[in-house]
Amino acid sequence: MKIVALERKNLGNDIDFTRFGKFGEFTEYEKTGIEQIYERSKDAQVLIINKLPMNESTLGALNRLRLICVTATGTDNVDLNYCKAHQIAVCNAKGYSTDSVVQHTFAMFFYLMEHLPYYDQYTKSGNYVKSETFTHFDRYFMELAHKTWGIVGMGDIGKKVAAAAKAFGCEVIYYSTSGNNQFDGAERVEWDALLERSDVISIHAPLNERTRNLFDLQAFKKMKSSAYLVNVGRGPIVNESDLCKALKDQLIAGAALDVLSQEPMREDNPLFEVIDQENLLITPHIAWATTEARNRLTDEVYKNIESYLNGGTYGRLC
């Protein structure tokens, strides 16, 4: 059995991959270009991948391949129909990042809403040493208790965010993009009501035809000018050009983004126009990536391979 990991760097060098050698000959590469897939994978029965496209173009000549393990939950980059037709099993990983994403959601929100960069710099610059009073509050911030937290995407992550928001004393409401989601722990509302009532909106939804550009200029105009947006779902759910205008025109109080329409961020991203503003926080797709979450993810991949070799279907999508 030959196992090849093509995108080792995407999981971090602090995570141990050596255990995959238990299953056979194991080779890992820090990163792999599309043009390198065939040469590195031509003898492999198992591929461990993350973002690389897995379709007829990249898989067509890999005659020995029997299993693809995706180190993520989403599999938009994998042609499942092609894999099924060619008897290539595909596995993904679920549930490994829930606690990590919930934690990052609130970390981003509080960092932005409480103007922590400003106050940190105020103190470290020496201005606090010169202060005539024991306190300084030139940037005002709100108390989360008794505010309304709106959620788009009431899956496992959304439900844990709802529970945490309630612990802070929030009223929690949510919008179902499919119209089918039911959750007894919060009030389900229509789209306009979510926008108009929420003091904070966090996005935990998948990207599909219903969610792409869901947050556009019309949506921002319906939000409170004091409201904050947190996107830890998928970048294209937020129209970045419209968000740029909303921040410039102060239609909303601020936005915290862990995901963007193009990753890595491109030089022509419109958000660079407001990148220095205090009301915008961007992190490089790290909400999922605590050390514990990445170890859990590797555990899931290990179980996927072990199950496949034993004739099981753990983690199988096709």
**Residue 125, domain CATH:** 3.40.50.720
The rounded distance, in Å, linking the Cα atoms of 34 and 195 is: 41
C-alpha pair distances (Å), 193 with each of 166, 240, 318: 19, 22, 39
Q: Is residue 56 part of a domain?
A: yes
Q: How confident is the model at residue 179 (pLDDT cuts 50, 70, 90)?
A: confident
Answer yes or no: do 65 and 148 share one domain: no
Q: Is residue 196 part of a domain?
A: yes
User: Given a cut of 90, is residue 275 above it in pLDDT?
Assistant: no
Q: Is residue 314 part of a domain?
A: no
| Closest to 93 measured CA to CA, from 318, 288, 316 | 316
C-alpha pair distances (Å), 64 with each of 1, 29, 44, 316: 10, 19, 6, 19
User: Given a cut of 90, is residue 257 above it in pLDDT?
Assistant: yes
3-state secondary structure of 68: strand
Q: How confident is the model at residue 210 (pLDDT cuts 50, 70, 90)?
A: very high
Tell me which residues are annotated as active site.
234, 263, 285
Which domain range does residue 42 map to?
2-96+291-309
User: Tokens 């205090």 — which residue?
Assistant: 278
Q: Is residue 317 part of a domain?
A: no
Answer yes or no: do 138 and 258 share one domain: yes
Q: How many Cβ atoms from other residues are within 10 Å of residue 140's Cβ?
A: 7
- Residue 239 · residue 215 · CB < 8 Å: yes
Which pLDDT score is estimated for 182?
A: 84
Answer yes or no: do 303 and 253 share one domain: no
User: Given a cut of 90, is residue 180 above it in pLDDT?
Assistant: no
Domain count, the chain: 2
User: Given a cut of 90, is residue 241 above it in pLDDT?
Assistant: yes
The rounded distance, in Å, linking the Cα atoms of 185 and 188 is: 9
Which pLDDT score is estimated for 30?
A: 95
Integer-rounded Cα Rg, in Å, for the chain is 22
Which pLDDT score is estimated for 102?
A: 98
User: Given a cut of 90, is residue 178 above it in pLDDT?
Assistant: no
The rounded distance, in Å, linking the Cα atoms of 122 and 305 is: 52
Answer yes or no: do 301 and 240 share one domain: no
Strands of 254-257's sheet in order across: 187-188, 171-175, 148-152, 200-203, 228-231, 254-257, 280-282
User: Tokens 């549930």 — which residue?
Assistant: 95
Q: How confident is the model at residue 205 (pLDDT cuts 50, 70, 90)?
A: very high
Q: Over pLDDT 90: what percentage of the chain?
A: 94
Helix 116-124 / helix 98-113 crossing angle, nearest 10 deg: 60
User: Given a cut of 80, is residue 181 above it in pLDDT?
Assistant: no
Which pLDDT score is estimated for 9?
A: 94
Answer yes or no: do 184 and 78 share one domain: no
Three-state secondary structure readout of 279-293: CEEECCCCCCCCHHH
Answer yes or no: do 272 and 159 share one domain: yes
Report, as an integer, the average pLDDT of 73-85.
Answer: 94
Q: How confident is the model at residue 25 (pLDDT cuts 50, 70, 90)?
A: very high
Q: Is the pTM of this model over 0.85?
A: yes
Answer yes or no: do 92 and 110 share one domain: no
Which pLDDT score is estimated for 277?
A: 86
Which pLDDT score is estimated for 192?
A: 98
Q: Is residue 89 part of a domain?
A: yes
229 exposed, middle or buried (CB, 10 Å; 0-12, 13-18, 19+)? buried
Residues 95-125 have pLDDT tens digits of 999 999 999 999 999 999 999 999 999 999 9
Which pLDDT score is estimated for 26?
A: 97
DSSP structure class, residue 17: -
- Mean residue pLDDT of the chain comes to 95
Long-range contacts of residues 74-81, Cβ cutoff 8 Å, at least 24 apart: 74/206, 75/317, 76/207, 77/49, 77/51, 77/52, 77/53, 78/53, 78/54, 79/54, 79/55, 80/317, 80/318
- Residue 181 · residue 154 · CB < 8 Å: yes
Answer yes or no: do 210 and 77 share one domain: no
User: Given a cut of 80, is residue 170 above it in pLDDT?
Assistant: yes
Report, as an integer, the average pLDDT of 278-296.
Answer: 96
